[in-house]
Structure 1
Amino acid sequence: MEKIRVGGILDNSLANGKGLRTVIFLSGCIHKCKGCHNKELQDFNFGIEMTEEEIFNRIEKNAGIIKGVTLSGGDPMEQPMKLVNLCKKIKTLGLNIWCYTGYSFEEILKSDEKSSLLKEVDVLVDGIFDLKSKSEKLKYRGSSNQRIIDVKESLTSKEVVVLDF
């Protein structure tokens, strides 16, 4: 079984999506956004390799108190196929999944691998972090160019459905 490169796991967070969540920080990002707050996670070799089972067991122990799981990074879309099955298992716990990525929704749809992961995600925060558009007043995103997207509604309606927080 292929291992997932993880930069860290935060068991309980209120800042990385709606409700109390477990956040998995994935290693590797090609975007190199100026002002990135997880710069060390841009390195594809940062962190440790974990099995899907190790990550799932940690989430499962926390499932009684969390509302969902957030995939962050780095960029989870750099390891999409390693995350698809994990996300399916997370769904069996009744948890929702948020994913932060520097790719746009439209770019993800052009990639079969990235689309496979997208289909397992409930909410996508897309777009590169733009230091010029940064605002502390924004909820669940770092810059105003980023969108918080209802993935299921967007895939069904074939147009981007943005959530307002």
Structure 2
Amino acid sequence: MHYGAIKTNDIANGIGVRTSLFVSGCTNQCPRCFQPETWAFDYGTPFTQETIDFILDSLAPSHIQGLSLLGGEPMEPANQAGLLPLVQSVKARYPQKTIWCYTGFTLEQLQTQAPHPRCDGTDALLSYLDVLVDGRFVEALKDIRLRFRGSSNQRLIDVPATLSKGEVVLWNG
């Protein structure tokens, strides 16, 4: 797995001040994507244990509310495998911090037994998320008044409540 950027003290991609990881690789390739350079799976820097350690250290200050995963596409199977150890480490060290994930896939696509994007690690990765912002960016549905998303088809999903209830529960924070 590679990543394009890590932003510490990010205020745009979830509640509060966050660390945001922009992974590389995306097969969705939404028209008018704000980071098309991240579509290539080998774009940027290799994701290593040192990267995980840097992210964990960046989350230590009490004013940092959590981690946001963006892309590229975090839910590409190759990226899920790389992200699972990260989110496990974050929740073990900082259980009070939230993890948000932005994906062009829908939750239903991630939960359907289909060849892509669901893989062996999908359920485990979802279980560590607090909020999933799902759905492709659609230029015709762009609305700059929306919180934490670019187009009105995208949903902010409360993942723990959704997994518990067995149906989509929207985040209303």
Task: With the length of structure 1 as denominator, give the TM-score of the two structures.
Answer: 0.92
Residue 67 of structure 1 deviates from its aligned partner by 0.2
Structure 1 counterpart SS, 2:19: strand
TM-score, with length taken from structure 2 = 0.88
Q: Does residue 138 of structure 2 align to residue 130 of structure 1?
A: yes
Give the unaligned 5+ runs of structure 1: none
Instruction: Give the root-mean-square deviation of aligned CA atoms.
Output: 1.4
SS in 2 for 1:24: strand
The Cα shift of 1:99 comes to 0.2
Letter aligned with residue 125 of structure 1: V
Q: Does 1:11 align with 2:13?
A: no
AA at the equivalent of 2:64: I
Give the distance between the partners of 2:88 and 2:125, measured in 1 at CA. 10
Match of 1:84?
A: 84
Deviation of 1:82 after TM superposition, in Å, equals: 1.3
Residue 52 of structure 1 aligns with which residue? 49
Percent identity at matched positions? 41
* Residue among 145, 162, 167 paired with 1:154: 162
- The match for 2:66 is 68
Aligned to 2:104: 102
CA contact (8 A) 2:19 2:68 kept: yes
CA deviation map 1:114-165 (0-9, x unaligned): 2221111110000000000001101100100000000010001000001235
| Runs (5+) with no aligned partner, structure 2 | 113-117
Distance in 1, matches of 2:69 and 2:142, equals 21
